[in-house]
Amino acid sequence: MTDFQPAKAVTRAYMAAFDAAAPADRLAALQAHTGKDYHWRGLHPFHEQSGAQEVIDAFWAPLLSSFSALQRRETIFFAGLNDTDGQSSVWTCSMGHFKALFDQDWLGIPATRKIAMIRYAEFHRIDGGKIAETALFIDILDVIHQAGLNPLPPQTAASFVHPGPLTNDGQLFDAQDPAEGAKTLKTINDMAANISKANAIIQGKSDAKPLTPREELSQHWHEDMAWYGPAGIGAVFTIERYVEQHQQPFRRQLANRVFNGHVARFAEGNYGGFFGWPNLTVTPTGGYLGLPGSNRPSDMRVVDVYRRDGDKLAENWVFIDILHFLNQQGLDVLGRLAEIKRT
């Protein structure tokens, strides 16, 4: 049985030191808790960075210059063995919001001088008592919405500050029963396998009898499931509305779906999650996100974080690098914001 507490301690020590440091001291804090070959992944336009200095220069310094009094408001924290590499590496996941004052323009997004709630999910691979690898997903499009701008057509689902778990038990600071984590991971994997089966049927690669959306979802989801999707799609509640407001647009308006795998997938207790780089490659045929089709295969980098309740999944927090997805199709949302500002 693997003890995840040391890995959690490394992550908690890093967050405590980094979050408390003055902006000028963030580099030293990051260097103190990361390995010499530190690898960092962030969403468009940050992508991949190597080493603490590059990460500070590319991401943290601009962010901290624009958002003052930044606080981490974490709602979920867990660790586990990576199911994608034969369970040979240990990862942690922290999810919640960065709360801050949006005082200076950022990425061409005009400052509001008001509170901004920046959704984040941060994954760390721990090796030798250091953070060896990080993936930090934030919902930039949601920050654009908070600034009063809507660069895309109306989204199909709701927009609001996403809550933490209904049960308020998402921060797993203490050791958990390994059997519960195994159950959560199996539920996630079985659910994902169902999606793959449905995609195979849709693409004519399987002659199995298709299930209705409700039949498919009800196998692994509670009726009152909550799906907290990224800005551009929104959040949904109940199986019925999930089908209407996310699943069907996704399946009908994105063709040639190819699953590329995950970098990390793990669970602990009732919580689990994964991210890919990219998870999927899909071809927009028209209508997705309210936009015309491009017929260009485009990658989706996705995070899913889940809460299991009993034998089924109850809540799901989702991040998608939509700006990167659109940029591959020739729509540079951030570039467009900068152009509008110049005029």
* Closest alpha carbon to 323 in 116, 110, 42: 42
pLDDT at 56 (0 to 100):
98
* Closest alpha carbon to 238 in 334, 230, 247: 247
Find out whether 255 and 282 touch, Cβ atoms under 8 Å: yes
Mean pLDDT value of segment 194-199 = 83
Question: Which two tokens mark 132?
Answer: 């060896």
Find out whether 246 and 339 touch, Cβ atoms under 8 Å: no
pLDDT at 342 (0 to 100):
63
pLDDT at 98 (0 to 100):
98
pLDDT at 341 (0 to 100):
65
Q: How confident is the model at residue 202 (pLDDT cuts 50, 70, 90)?
A: confident
Mean pLDDT value of segment 120-146 = 98
Does position 149 have pLDDT exceeding 80, yes or no?
A: yes
Neighbours of 122 (CB within 10 A): 21
Instruction: Give the predicted TM-score (pTM) of the model.
Output: 0.96
Neighbours of 339 (CB within 10 A): 11
Higher pLDDT pick, 212 / 136: 136
Higher pLDDT pick, 24 / 52: 52
Which residue type sits at 57?
D
pLDDT tens by residue, 214-227 = 999 999 999 999 99
Find out whether 30 and 56 touch, Cβ atoms under 8 Å: yes
Q: How confident is the model at residue 199 (pLDDT cuts 50, 70, 90)?
A: confident
- Please give the full DSSP string across 237-291, using - where no structure is assigned: ESHHHHIIIIIHHHHHHEEEEEE---SEEEEETTEEEEE-TTSEEEEE-S-GGG-
pLDDT at 343 (0 to 100):
54
Q: How confident is the model at residue 237 (pLDDT cuts 50, 70, 90)?
A: very high
β-strand pairing of 130-138 with 34-42: parallel
Mean pLDDT value of segment 30-47 = 97
